[in-house]
Amino acid sequence: DGGITQSPKYLFRKEGQNVTLSCEQNLNHDAMYWYRQDPGQGLRLIYYSQIVNDFQKGDIAEGYSVSREKKESFPLTVTSAQKNPTAFYLCASAPGGLNTEAFFGQGTRLTVV
Partner 1 sequence: AQSVAQPEDQVNVAEGNPLTVKCTYSVSGNPYLFWYVQYPNRGLQFLLKYITGDNLVKGSYGFEAEFNKSQTSFHLKKPSALVSDSALYFCAVRDGGGATNKLIFGTGTLLAVQP
Verify binding: residue 94, partner 1, rule CB under 8 A. yes
Member of 69, 83, 97, 113 binding partner 1 (CB under 8 A) = 97
Judge whether 42 and 22 are in contact, CB under 8 Å: no
Site string for partner 1, 27-46 (x = CB under 8 A): ----x-x-x----xxxxxx-
Verify binding: residue 102, partner 1, rule CB under 8 A. yes
Supply the Cα-derived Rg of the chain in whole angstroms: 13
Binding site for partner 1 (CB under 8 A): 6, 31, 33, 35, 40-45, 48, 50, 56, 58-59, 88, 90, 92, 94, 96-99, 101-107, 109
